[in-house]
Structure 1
């Protein structure tokens, strides 16, 4: 009956009731204050309000309840060893909650970097790697600090983690090479998602930049997957970042064209290009006497990098040039080949000397024979 009398002791029941009431009151007040804070922060759009809202939303209800319980236990006297355990408990709860708050702030910060348009890192791989590295550091420091507070010697643990990290790095060095190449792409930004690039025999639009590979949608429709390390070894042409486009094209006119009309053709080309709003004339010259044409070379600058607009302008130039040259009475050149039938051509007369030489060389032609052997 003695244990039963101890459980029914009025002093113990009073302390237990006090703890329960204190826990409920503290937890309810903290939840009420936290909910009110969230509503106030949601109505604000400033940067500090966004971070404060992220911290409030990442506050753990479980840790909040444990905090309320430990706060209520302050009203009860405990032995010295229990007080030490409660002190460790306070640190563990606080360390876990601070790690959660830092986790929320890091994720919000890297998310804003990914969405930033002015000077921000728009490469999702870069923001993901940055977020992962910072979060690993935050949670590792939190775990080590909790172990150190509980009296665990973390020196050997840190040393073993360093040796293990070296072994893992040697085992996955190819993968790490691609990961560091992805970091280089994120920092240097030679291309981003949506850019049109050309390297080697590959031409297409960047669809995805991953930790190991980059995926490109080619012009023919298939997806090309390229290792980040191998991609950075290539000489890349990024056409998305073009501001202007320099265009060079050639055409030829007939050799029957007079000098005055040849000069008028060059002036005609200048007038046609000047009439195009998105094209800036550079030069048009009678370049050379080609095999079957008088060759002209024309250069102009497109004021936009849009390839479709360039093709529209080039088509207008070609159509107007076709009509303008016809109005000048000039013909475009086309390849001409002259074939001569040698058998049908008359044989030129030969001189008397050539006839006698031929007769001496071929005596049968004179109706007799000549013996070359002397008797």
Structure 2
């Protein structure tokens, strides 16, 4: 008896298939009663669809041509140009369906199809806007780097947006999407952990493209390396060292270093260390900064400063600082070479000697007095022949 009572308490579910005959009769009855409103609604839907098609064509003209510089209007035009015909038809149907007093089944069907069309159309628009903004942040010289990353970016953005759209649609249908969301989250974490190196280099490449710490063709310095950037890839950056070697470093590792770009320098500082002997006359030692200034300005560079910086073990140490303007068109090394030769010639002409490492040793007696390092020379007496004169 308890089993029967429990069974009777369960809700009764109607599992009978829908009566297609009744549905057809109700639809025919609706057409017969509201045929005029239906024709007006269809005409209005055609007008709305035509207007949306015209707006779509305007977006196609705004998106521009491949290779053009992208503006916000071009990005919006690209998004509108991707409007689907299904979405436009469902928008028109959703706007006019209530006018003809349709059966509840028709209303639910149109609403359901409109929800699907709207959700996936928003995903398409969002994808085009995101990808357009990504391309807009780049310049022409970075097109190759962007092309390397764009394929993977498109896949990731498309997967993420359409996964969200699918979840939204299922949720509107009354499906419990909690388990699906949890599964996608766990799967995303697993994929992220497995490919964290690839994703870190990918996001580092995007950071280089967007933030522009350096660009392709620039000369940069990191650690002890000075090199020219040849290519910014999806995982690594290829450089050509000043000594000729090709260097490859991962993007994530490169961004963790302190990078100095030499490409945008308006001028470059050159430092010379000069040592002269202690026996240099005082007037000439005092005139050395003025000499160095004349030499630098005669070579067309910008004099900064020069002067005595230290008393070395075997030299008076001077330092010269000057700037080479516009290092892109002037050879930095050649400029330093010419200034060095000019200093050497001027010092030779002035009789100023460069110092070289020397060391002087002094010999002292036990009491500390300086003495000759060798014994005093005694006079030598020489007798030429027996019986001859003695000569010192």
Output the TM-score relative to the length of structure 1. 0.63
1:146 to 169, 176, 179: 169
Q: Deviations over 1:18-77 (max 9, x none)?
A: 6998876664454345436766898xx997644543343222245435655777877888
Shift, 1:146, TM fit: 1.5
2:120 pairs with 1:99: no
2:292 pairs with 1:269: yes
Once residues 47 and 192 of structure 1 are traced to their aligned partners in structure 2, the CA distance between those partners, rounded to angstroms, is: 21
2:321 pairs with 1:300: yes
2:364 pairs with 1:324: no
2:203 pairs with 1:203: no
Shift, 1:167, TM fit: 2.0
Contact 1:63 1:93 in 2 (8 A): yes
Q: Report 1:124-143 matches (<5 A).
A: 137-143=160-166
Shift, 1:218, TM fit: 2.4
**RMSD, aligned α-carbons:** 5.0
The count of aligned residue pairs is 320
Pick closer, same or farther for the CA change 1:36–1:286 going to 2, 3 Å: closer
Once residues 32 and 188 of structure 1 are traced to their aligned partners in structure 2, the CA distance between those partners, rounded to angstroms, is: 38
Equivalent residue number for residue 57 of structure 2: 35
Equivalent residue number for residue 332 of structure 2: 310
Pick closer, same or farther for the CA change 1:221–1:69 going to 2, 3 Å: farther
Equivalent residue number for residue 371 of structure 1: none
Q: Secondary structure at the match of 2:137?
A: helix
Shift, 1:161, TM fit: 0.9
Q: Secondary structure at the match of 2:83?
A: coil
Output the TM-score relative to the length of structure 2. 0.60
Q: Report 1:178-257 matches (<5 A).
A: 178-179=201-202, 191-200=214-223, 202-240=225-263, 242=265, 245-251=268-274
Q: Report 1:5-154 matches (<5 A).
A: 27-32=49-54, 34-35=56-57, 49-65=73-89, 80-115=104-139, 137-154=160-177
Once residues 46 and 97 of structure 1 are traced to their aligned partners in structure 2, the CA distance between those partners, rounded to angstroms, is: 22
Q: Secondary structure at the match of 1:224?
A: strand
User: Which 10-residue stretch deviates more, 245-254 or 148-157?
Assistant: 245-254
Gaps (5+ residues) in structure 2? Answer: 1-23, 360-376, 381-392
Q: Deviations over 1:120-165 (max 9, x none)?
A: xxx969x979988766554333221122223322111101111212
Equivalent residue number for residue 305 of structure 2: 282
Q: Secondary structure at the match of 1:151?
A: coil
